[in-house]
Amino acid sequence: MAQYVRRDIWGLSETDPWHPIIEAYALGVRELQRPERAEPLTWAYQAKIHALPRGVAGDQFLAQCQHFCWFFLPWHRLYLYYFERIVRAAIQTLDEVDEDVKAQWALPYWNYERNDAARSLPPAFRDQTLAGRGEPNPLFIRQRKPGRNQGTPLDPNDVRSDLARLPREFAFPDGSVGGFAGPAVGPSHVGEVAGADSGELENAPHGSVHVQVGGLRQAGDPQDGLMAIFATAGLDPLFWLHHCNLDRLWEMWLGEDDAHVNPPAGSPFYAPSFHFHDEAGAAVAKTAEFAVDTAGNLEYTYEDITPPAPPRRRGRRRTTTPMSEDAATNPPEFVGGTPKPIRLAGAEERVSFETARPTGPMARRGGGRPERVYLRFEGITGEQPGITYAVYLNLPDDDATAADPEDYYVGNLAFFGVERAGDVDTDRPGGHGLNHAFDVTELVEALDDDDEWDPQEVRVTLSPVHSSGDAVRRRRGGAGPDPDAAETPAVQIGRVSVYYR
Q: Does 425 bind other proteins (CB under 8 A)?
A: yes
* Dihedral sign from CA coordinates of 334, 339, 344, 350: negative
Select 192 or 224, whichever has its Cβ closest to other proteins: 192
Please report which helix (H) or strand (E) contains residue 279, including its range: none
> Counting contacts by CB under 8 A, is residue 370 touching other proteins?
no
Please give the Cα distance from 180 to 86 (Å, whole number): 30
Q: Which of 271, 356, 486, 490 binds other proteins (CB under 8 A)?
A: 356
Across 200-282, the runs of DSSP E, i.e. the strands, are 274-277
* CA dist list (Å): 44 to 29, 41, 111, 275: 11, 9, 26, 17
Q: Which is nearer to other proteins, 317 or 357 (CB)?
A: 357
Q: Is 463 in the site for other proteins (CB under 8 A)?
A: no
Strand partners, 440: none
Query: Could you tell me how many residues of this chain bind other proteins (CB under 8 A)?
Result: 40
Least distance to other proteins, CB of residue 457, Å: 14
From 238-246, 279-287, 334-342, 471-479, give the range in contact with other proteins by CB under 8 A.
Answer: 334-342
Nearest to 114 by CA among 225, 267, 241, 240: 241
Q: How far is the CB of 391 from other proteins (least distance, A)?
A: 17
Told to check if 494 binds other proteins by CB under 8 A, we report: yes
Whether the CB-CB separation of 40 and 277 falls below 8 Å is answered with yes
Residue among 63, 335, 395, 444 that touches other proteins (CB under 8 A): 335
Per-residue binding string, other proteins, 161-190, x by CB under 8 A, is --------------x----------xxx--
Tell which one of 17, 156, 308, 336 touches other proteins (CB under 8 A).
336
Answer whether 163's CB lies under 8 Å from 200's CB: yes
- Residue 144 gets which letter from DSSP? S
- Residue of the chain from 339, 367, 480, 481 that contacts other proteins (CB under 8 A): 339
CA–CA distance from 490 to each of 37, 40, 346, 414, 419 (Å)? Answer: 40, 36, 7, 13, 11
In the bound state with other proteins, the residue whose beta carbon lies nearer, of 339 and 480, is 339
Q: Is 428 in the site for other proteins (CB under 8 A)?
A: yes
Nearer residue to other proteins within complex by CB, 94 or 363 = 363
Q: How far is the CB of 492 from other proteins (least distance, A)?
A: 10
**Sequence-ordered alpha helix ranges (H) in 215-355:** 237-255, 288-291, 325-329
174: Cα separation from own chain's centroid: 20
- Residue 406's Cβ-count burial label (10 Å; 0-12, 13-18, 19+) is middle
Residues 461 and 474: beta-carbon distance below 8 Å: no
How far does Cα 42 stand from its chain's mean position?
A: 25
Q: How far is the CB of 5 from other proteins (least distance, A)?
A: 38
Under 8 Å between Cβ of 349 and 472:
no
Site residues for other proteins, 19-78, by CB under 8 A, read none
201 vs 418 by CB, closer to other proteins:
418
Q: Quick one: which of 15, 60, 115, 359 contacts other proteins (CB under 8 A)? A: 359
Q: Which of residues 1-20 bind other proteins (CB under 8 A)?
A: none
HSE toward the beta carbon, residue 151, CA cutoff 13 A: 5
432 interacts with other proteins by CB under 8 A:
yes
Of 308 and 331, CB closest to other proteins = 331
Amino acid found at 25: Y
Q: Please, which residue, 32 or 434, has the CB nearer to other proteins?
A: 434
**Site for other proteins, rule CB under 8 A:** 175, 186-188, 192-195, 329-331, 333-337, 339-341, 353, 356, 358-361, 378-379, 422, 424-428, 430-433, 494-495, 497
